[in-house]
Amino acid sequence: MATLFTKIIDGEIPGRFVWRDDRAVAFLTIAPISTGHTLVVPIDEVDHWIDLPADLAGHLMEVGRLVGRAQMAAFSPTRIGMIIAGLEVPHCHLHVLPIDTEADLSFAKADPGVAPEALDDAADRLRAALRDQGHGEHVAASWRP
């Protein structure tokens, strides 16, 4: 059975994509801890990050780094944090998020009530920053891949 993330990747469920290549996607979470909180997900379903092939793990980290640079440009946080938890969905994913303190890395701060317009604005700002940084060929243009 396809995971929730595979359904998003395949366009069965809408997602606010900011990145897509042949191995990974990045889209905003619907319950962000901070503005611009993005999930970097392999297209292939791999449940646990320790089971990723080394080259795919490296690719996900690189996409996370590029998304993080775009977050830094778009939102001007103190740092970019990353969480790999994997308890919510059995499909490996990296949480990449703007932070100002270590306390900002708490899922207790996730907000499932963020207005859709705010999520759209954050996605637009990230896409623009990725384009400005020379990654236009991988910037997702819409809600669907």
93 is catalytic: yes
Please tell me which residue in 37, 59, 91, 93 is annotated as part of the active site. Answer: 93
Q: Where are the beta strands (DSSP E) in the chain?
A: 17-20, 24-28, 38-42, 79-83, 94-99
CB atoms within 10 A of CB 61: 15
Q: What angle do CA 49, 54, 56 make, to 5 degrees?
A: 75
Q: List CB contacts of 93: < 8 A, sequence separation 6 or more.
A: 5, 39, 40, 41, 84, 86
Active site residues: 93
